[in-house]
Copies of this chain bind each other. A is one copy, B any other.
Amino acid sequence: MTDQGEGRRVDMETIVSLCKRRGFVFPSAEIYGGFANTYDYGPLGVELRRQIRASWWKAMVQERDDVVGIEAAIITNPRVYIASGHLEHFTDPLVDCRNCKARFRADDLPGATVDGAGASMKVALPPDLTCPSCGTRGSFTEARQFNLMFETNVGPLRDESSVAYLRPETAQGMFVNFENVLNSTRRKLPFGIAQNGKSFRNEITPGNFIFRMLEFEQMEMEYFCYPERGRELYEYWREERMRWYVERLGIRPERLRFREHPPEALSHYSSGTTDVEYEFPFGWGELEGIAYRTDFDLRRHSEVSGRQLSYFDEERKEHIVPHVVEPAAGVDRIMAVLLLDAYDEEQDERGETRVVLRFKPDLAPVQVAILPLSRNERLVPTAREVWTRLRPRFRTQYDDAQSIGRRYRRQDEIGTPLCVTVDFQTIEEDQAVTIRDRDSMEQVRVGLEELTDRLEERLSAL
């Protein structure tokens, strides 16, 4: 694994600015002034996201013998959300300022006292509370519950009968497809159904960059098991998921922790939830939730649909409603964490600052940069030839603009583990190139005929 060194605590503004400048994350539709809590991902951002998804899928589906994937629709039959409890319970308590009409989450306001959770949460505000927006005192309405699902209408009519919802989580897709997956795969307990895709929540939020957005991308897995093994598997998945962050993503363990939800704060479906938290610049924040959902969802869908969702145990000769443990992670938050955690700064010998993103090499958006020493017409054809050869094997970038020193710095700043430099010695003397290491800045000379193998060796050794 990469030697991460001490790392560096970086503020969110530095990351936001780097992300825009280098093409990781842009404000969505920025030419129109952007859009509340919505971001678009640029060329480097997309590559990083692709590696996050691939790593999760490999660990959670491909390498396992007990998990299969699905992809369910974002807009489906609204009865799903009657059964799941989202129509009733998935709400935030909101208050309006009578003076300026600004709207707030009541439980986020200073001095709010909260009783209960979910839809039955009661929030009391100090009677003389000042509106953070207009400064008026005591201007707030009573808190009322507001559902967080986005609504739309399917078909040309706009009435009650055509209302449908954008899914607020991918998890329900696994529950409503439980029977079809079971019948088509003939799985035995325990087994999991995994899904990666977008979800939507109409939240009033303080933002924090891509940490909390209106639309976000989930990686969720529902692990179905015998009821008596639920607790044990809840423990197992906590450990397993923490291990993934440390070993597969290379996140510094000292910035990760578990946080168990107290019983009174549990969601309506959960009998135990642990968050994996990361120490963000704004404090500890949820990176993943591991929830013991018991048999809540399958039972509810059985009740509302009238279809018995259960597992027939051939040895016990009985139908069982499995219990469920759910590890639910977010691509966007993981991406934020990878950027924050990889960020480092060093002073070089001339006192200049070198910014380095110390991504694990298999996650880096660009794995190998190909740099001719200059735009000299004798160097460029060879450099482009090298590039053409490497492209099918690695995520590459070609750069011939400005001095080689500045180009190394650019690659450091986007976390490219290896740079290949083509110089005059390459074409005149040795048919060899220089491989330069992002972390140590050491350079080694390698013959062109062995370049691909050496790059692969170094990338997997790092």
The residues of A with any CB-CB pair to B shorter than 8 Å are: 20-23, 26, 28-36, 38-47, 49-50, 57-58, 62-63, 65, 68-77, 79-80, 94, 103, 146, 150-157, 164, 166, 173, 176-177, 179-181, 183-186, 198, 200, 202, 204, 214-215, 301, 304-305, 307, 309, 384, 387-388, 391-392, 395, 398, 401
Contact = CB atoms under 8 A, between A and B. Distances in A.
A71 B94 contact: no
A200 B200 CA distance: 14
Top 10 A-B residue pairs of the complex, sorted by shortest distance between their CB atoms? A23-B184, A43-B68, A29-B77, A31-B305, A46-B69, A40-B72, A32-B77, A41-B71, A35-B77, A26-B180
Interface residues of chain A: helix, strand, loop or mixed (majority): mixed
Contact of A72 (B28, B58, B179): B28
Given A40-B71, A153-B151, A156-B146, A77 B305 contact: no
Nearest to A37: B154
A413 to B, nearest CB: 12
A30 B178 CA distance: 10
Contact of A65 (B34, B179, B304, B387): B387
A408 to B, nearest CB: 16
B31 A179 contact: yes
Nearest to A200: B75
A93 to B, nearest CB: 11
A42 B20 contact: no
A49 B76 contact: no
A186 B43 CA distance: 12
Contact of A42 (B77, B146, B181, B391): B181
Contact of A35 (B20, B21, B70, B73): B73
Q: Can you tell how many copies of this chain the complex includes?
A: 2
A39 to B, nearest CB: 7
Nearest to A401: B186
22 contacts: A23-B185, A26-B180, A29-B176, A30-B176, A31-B307, A35-B75, A35-B76, A36-B155, A38-B75, A40-B71, A40-B72, A40-B73, A40-B76, A42-B70, A47-B69, A50-B57, A63-B392, A74-B198, A152-B152, A154-B202, A155-B204, A166-B166
Given A38-B73, A62-B395, A23 B152 contact: no
A126 B5 CA distance: 78
A152 B155 contact: no
B215 A22 contact: no
Contacts of A72: 28, 40-41
Given A29-B77, A184-B23, A151 B154 contact: no
A159 to B, nearest CB: 12
A30 to B, nearest CB: 6
A7 to B, nearest CB: 25
Given A75-B215, A150-B153, A154-B214, 11 more contacts: A29-B176, A31-B307, A34-B77, A36-B154, A40-B176, A74-B215, A146-B156, A155-B202, A155-B204, A186-B401, A198-B198
Contacts of A21: 183-184
A60 to B, nearest CB: 13
Nearest to A58: B392
A209 B326 CA distance: 31
B185 A33 contact: no
Given A40-B71, A72-B40, A392-B63, A80 B184 contact: no
B70 A176 contact: no
B184 A20 contact: yes
Contact of A20 (B30, B47, B180, B304): B180
Contact of A77 (B28, B47, B156): B28
